[in-house]
Protein backbone atom coordinates (compact mmCIF):
# COMPACT_ATOMS: atom_id res chain seq x y z
CA UNK A 1 0.00 0.00 0.00
CA UNK A 2 1.43 3.40 -1.03
CA UNK A 3 1.65 6.49 1.19
CA UNK A 4 -1.16 7.92 -0.93
CA UNK A 5 -3.38 4.88 -0.25
CA UNK A 6 -2.72 5.09 3.49
CA UNK A 7 -3.65 8.78 3.47
CA UNK A 8 -6.78 8.02 1.43
CA UNK A 9 -7.91 5.33 3.88
CA UNK A 10 -7.65 7.78 6.80
CA UNK A 11 -9.50 10.51 4.91
CA UNK A 12 -12.29 8.08 3.97
CA UNK A 13 -12.77 7.34 7.69
CA UNK A 14 -12.88 11.05 8.50
CA UNK A 15 -9.49 11.05 10.25
CA UNK A 16 -6.99 13.82 9.47
CA UNK A 17 -3.82 12.25 8.10
CA UNK A 18 -1.07 13.36 10.46
CA UNK A 19 2.41 11.89 10.15
CA UNK A 20 2.13 9.67 13.29
CA UNK A 21 -1.29 8.37 12.20
CA UNK A 22 0.00 7.50 8.75
CA UNK A 23 3.04 5.74 10.19
CA UNK A 24 0.89 3.74 12.64
CA UNK A 25 -1.66 2.77 9.99
CA UNK A 26 1.10 1.71 7.62
CA UNK A 27 2.56 -0.40 10.44
CA UNK A 28 -0.81 -2.06 11.14
CA UNK A 29 -1.18 -2.92 7.43
CA UNK A 30 2.26 -4.54 7.27
CA UNK A 31 2.43 -6.28 10.68
CA UNK A 32 -0.35 -8.81 11.17
CA UNK A 33 1.18 -10.33 14.31
CA UNK A 34 -1.24 -8.55 16.71
CA UNK A 35 1.17 -5.91 18.05
CA UNK A 36 0.63 -4.01 21.31
CA UNK A 37 0.96 -0.20 21.57
CA UNK A 38 4.39 -0.81 23.15
CA UNK A 39 5.55 -2.93 20.18
CA UNK A 40 4.51 -0.23 17.71
CA UNK A 41 6.05 2.57 19.75
CA UNK A 42 9.33 0.67 20.04
CA UNK A 43 9.46 0.03 16.26
CA UNK A 44 8.41 3.52 15.14
CA UNK A 45 10.01 5.85 17.68
CA UNK A 46 13.18 6.40 15.64
CA UNK A 47 11.25 6.86 12.37
CA UNK A 48 8.72 9.32 13.84
CA UNK A 49 10.65 11.51 16.27
CA UNK A 50 7.57 13.31 17.67
CA UNK A 51 5.91 10.00 18.63
CA UNK A 52 4.87 9.21 22.21
CA UNK A 53 3.37 6.03 23.63
CA UNK A 54 0.20 7.99 24.46
CA UNK A 55 -0.14 9.07 20.81
CA UNK A 56 0.26 5.46 19.67
CA UNK A 57 -2.35 4.25 22.14
CA UNK A 58 -4.87 7.02 21.36
CA UNK A 59 -4.41 6.52 17.62
CA UNK A 60 -5.04 2.77 17.91
CA UNK A 61 -8.15 3.45 19.98
CA UNK A 62 -9.37 5.85 17.28
CA UNK A 63 -8.63 3.28 14.53
CA UNK A 64 -10.57 0.64 16.48
CA UNK A 65 -13.56 3.00 16.88
CA UNK A 66 -13.53 3.70 13.14
CA UNK A 67 -13.26 0.02 12.24
CA UNK A 68 -9.78 0.31 10.71
CA UNK A 69 -8.34 -2.20 13.18
CA UNK A 70 -9.53 -4.44 15.97
CA UNK A 71 -8.63 -4.05 19.61
CA UNK A 72 -8.26 -7.45 21.28
CA UNK A 73 -8.75 -7.90 25.01
CA UNK A 74 -7.73 -11.56 24.95
CA UNK A 75 -4.80 -10.88 27.29
CA UNK A 76 -5.72 -9.12 30.54
CA UNK A 77 -2.13 -7.85 30.85
CA UNK A 78 -2.09 -5.85 27.59
CA UNK A 79 -4.28 -4.90 24.64
CA UNK A 80 -3.32 -6.31 21.23
CA UNK A 81 -4.27 -4.65 17.95
CA UNK A 82 -5.13 -6.32 14.66
CA UNK A 83 -5.07 -4.91 11.11
CA UNK A 84 -7.28 -7.79 9.94
CA UNK A 85 -10.86 -6.69 10.54
CA UNK A 86 -12.73 -9.59 8.90
CA UNK A 87 -14.45 -11.90 11.41
CA UNK A 88 -11.91 -14.32 12.88
CA UNK A 89 -11.04 -15.82 16.25
CA UNK A 90 -7.87 -15.58 18.31
CA UNK A 91 -5.69 -17.96 20.26
CA UNK A 92 -3.44 -16.71 23.06
CA UNK A 93 -0.47 -18.83 24.09
CA UNK A 94 -0.21 -18.75 27.87
CA UNK A 95 3.49 -19.58 27.58
CA UNK A 96 5.00 -17.23 24.96
CA UNK A 97 2.18 -14.65 24.90
CA UNK A 98 1.78 -14.75 21.10
CA UNK A 99 -1.68 -14.19 19.64
CA UNK A 100 -2.58 -16.35 16.63
CA UNK A 101 -5.46 -16.13 14.15
CA UNK A 102 -8.03 -18.92 14.03
CA UNK A 103 -11.14 -19.21 11.85
CA UNK A 104 -14.41 -17.96 13.25
CA UNK A 105 -16.63 -20.85 14.34
CA UNK A 106 -20.24 -20.85 13.23
CA UNK A 107 -22.23 -19.80 16.25
CA UNK A 108 -25.86 -19.17 15.65
CA UNK A 109 -28.22 -17.95 18.30
CA UNK A 110 -31.88 -17.67 17.42
CA UNK A 111 -33.52 -14.30 17.95
CA UNK A 112 -35.46 -15.83 20.84
CA UNK A 113 -32.19 -16.65 22.63
CA UNK A 114 -30.83 -13.09 22.33
CA UNK A 115 -33.45 -11.65 24.68
CA UNK A 116 -33.92 -8.58 22.47
CA UNK A 117 -30.23 -7.63 22.36
CA UNK A 118 -28.75 -6.46 19.07
CA UNK A 119 -25.41 -8.20 18.49
CA UNK A 120 -22.98 -6.18 16.35
CA UNK A 121 -19.83 -8.24 16.77
CA UNK A 122 -18.66 -11.54 18.21
CA UNK A 123 -15.19 -12.28 19.55
CA UNK A 124 -14.04 -15.82 20.24
CA UNK A 125 -10.92 -16.12 22.37
CA UNK A 126 -9.08 -19.41 22.84
CA UNK A 127 -6.20 -19.85 25.26
CA UNK A 128 -3.67 -22.61 25.79
CA UNK A 129 -0.19 -23.61 24.65
CA UNK A 130 0.73 -22.89 21.02
CA UNK A 131 2.18 -25.50 18.64
CA UNK A 132 5.61 -23.82 18.72
CA UNK A 133 5.80 -24.03 22.51
CA UNK A 134 4.47 -27.63 22.41
CA UNK A 135 7.36 -28.57 20.06
CA UNK A 136 9.93 -26.94 22.33
CA UNK A 137 8.72 -28.76 25.44
CA UNK A 138 8.87 -32.18 23.72
Confirm if 26 and 1 have CB atoms less than 8 A apart: yes
Is 82 a binder of Zn ion (CB under 5 A)?
yes
53 DSSP β-pair partners: none
| Nearer residue to Zn ion within complex by CB, 11 or 96 | 96
Q: Which stretch binds Zn ion (CB under 5 A): 3-11, 40-48, 60-68, 90-98?
A: 90-98
H or E stretch at 126: strand 125-128
Q: Which stretch binds Zn ion (CB under 5 A): 2-10, 61-69, 108-116, 126-134?
A: 126-134
Please list every residue from 4 through 63 that binds Zn ion, using CB under 5 A: none
Is 122 a binder of Zn ion (CB under 5 A)?
no
Residues 6+ apart with CB under 8 A from 61: 71
Among 15, 28, 44, 93, binds Zn ion (CB under 5 A): 93
Q: What is the largest CA-CA distance in the chain?
A: 54
Amino acid sequence: MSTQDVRQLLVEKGISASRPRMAILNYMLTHYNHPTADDIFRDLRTEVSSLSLTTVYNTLKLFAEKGICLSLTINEKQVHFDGHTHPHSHFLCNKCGKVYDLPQPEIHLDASMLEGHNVTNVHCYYKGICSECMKKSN
